[in-house]
Amino acid sequence: MEDIKKRIKIIKFWDYLFGIVGLLSTFVGVLLLVILFIDLFIDGAARLNYKFITSFPSRFPKEAGILSALVGTTLVMFVTAFVAVPLGVMAGIYLEEYAKKNWLTNIIEINIANLAGVPSIIYGLLALGLFVYFFKFGESIITGGLALALLILPIVITATRESIRAIPNSIREASYALGATKWQTVKNHIIPYSLGGTLTGIIIGLSRAIGETAPVITVGALTFITFLPSSPIVKRFPFISFKWLFDPFTVMPIQVFNWVSRPQKEFHINAAAAGVILLIMTLLMNAIAIYIRYRFRRKIKW
């Protein structure tokens, strides 16, 4: 009996010890995040002002800003979303609602899982060979946007599928029982009920794309751009122009990379400041995604 009591003391000691080690290990990541935020913020504080956002890059660090990078990121994201969202959602709907269990579906599924694991820079090489040289889009906004769209496609597909899968079968049966066709069921029930999860996935995907540097470097985004792309709205009929799609561009992460790679310390301040803004953009998108997921979870309960 005394033996058992002693033994229990020993195993409980290890139990508690591991609890502490576990908590600490989990906090290593959290700690790094905190230090990273603080460090970046302190380093970049000197440049975090309105002028920094509204200025073009410059040879003089104090005058340089991120205007062209911000505009570039916005336009590239527009192209990315325009391509990845419909394609990804449609593919997700097909795989969950239409696909039969056969070898082709199986291959598509394995393929999507594999695409999600392909390093981002490989998408850059794909875009370089395919869009820049084969389709002759050049080192342009459309090339960058397409590269990132392909990169986040698996994320959008997977999110769409998961949120569709959460819809119970009884809903589909109820719709069919009323005489609805497959597409009517999908349009009136499946898409609206899975919207929360799909939106969350889309935003997470876009936040990933916003921070991606490697594929955009590979397709030849420039690091020093002191002009804006052509305006999408023009004075003459039809008032809309797509010329901007083929303009050279830069994006936020490339601007950060460019500044951090320079030897002059002054530019590192710019890098930190642009990093803070980039960080806020991605975290904000993630927060929105989490909020949407939370809202939809509360709204729909099966």
Partner 1 sequence: MVTENLKAKVNNLNFYYGNTQVLKNNNLPIFEKKITALIGPSGCGKTTFLRCFNRMHDLYHNNRYEGEIILYPDNINIISPLIDPIEVRMRIGMVFQKPNPFPKSIYENIAFGLRIRGIKKKSIIDEVVEKTLKDAALWDDVRDRLHSPAFNLSGGQQQRLCIARALATNPEILLFDEPTSAIDPIATGKIEELMVELKKKVTIIIVTHNIHQAARIADYTAFMYLGEIIEFGPTEKIFTVPSDKRTELYISGKFG
Partner 2 sequence: MKNQLGKIKENIIEMLLFLSAIFSIIITGSIVFILFYESIGFFKEVSIIEFLTGKEWTPLFANPKFGVLPLIAGTFLTTGIAISIALPLGLIAAIYLSEYATHRVREILKPVLEVLAAIPTVVYGYFALLFLTPLLQKFIPQISSFNALSPGIIMGIMIIPYVTSVSEDSMRAVPMHIREGSYAMGATRFQTAIKVIIPAAFSGIGAGFTLGISRAIGETMVVAIAAGMMPNFTLNPLEPVQTFTSYIVQVSLGDVPHGTLEYKTIFAAGVTLFLITLIFNIIGFWLKKRIIIRGVY
Q: What's the closest the beta carbon of residue 8 comes to partner 1, in angstroms?
A: 5
153 near 87, Cβ under 8 Å? yes
Look at residue 5 and give the partner it binds from partner 2, partner 1, none, a contact being a CB closer than 5 to 8 Å depending on partner kind: partner 1
Structure tokens at 23: 């908590």
Minimum CB distance to partner 2 smaller for 141 or for 278: 278
Instruction: Find the binding residues for partner 1 in span 11-70 (CB under 8 A).
Output: 11-12
107 is a site residue for partner 2 (CB under 8 A): yes
Minimum CB distance to partner 1 smaller for 1 or for 177: 1
Q: What's the closest the beta carbon of residue 107 comes to partner 1, in angstroms?
A: 31
Look at residue 42 and give the partner it binds from partner 1, partner 2, none, a contact being a CB closer than 5 to 8 Å depending on partner kind: none
What residues contact 149, with CB distance under 8 A and at least 6 apart?
79, 80, 81, 82, 83, 84, 87, 209
88 near 296, Cβ under 8 Å? no
Minimum CB distance to partner 1 smaller for 1 or for 28: 1
Minimum CB distance to partner 1 smaller for 9 or for 298: 9
Side-chain half-sphere exposure of 118, counting CA atoms within 13 A: 21
> Token match 């056969």: residue?
102
Q: How far apart are CA 152 and CA 112, in angstroms?
A: 11
57 is a site residue for partner 2 (CB under 8 A): no
Q: What's the closest the beta carbon of residue 4 comes to partner 1, in angstroms?
A: 6
The SS3 call for residue 233 is: strand
296 near 197, Cβ under 8 Å? yes
2 is a site residue for partner 1 (CB under 8 A): no
Minimum CB distance to partner 1 smaller for 12 or for 187: 12
Which of 88, 89, 196 has its CA nearest to residue 148?
Answer: 88
Look at residue 210 and give the partner it binds from partner 1, partner 2, none, a contact being a CB closer than 5 to 8 Å depending on partner kind: partner 2
240 is a site residue for partner 2 (CB under 8 A): no
Hey, how many other C-beta atoms are within 10 angstroms of the C-beta on 72? 27
Chain residues binding partner 1 by CB under 8 A are: 4-5, 7-8, 10-12
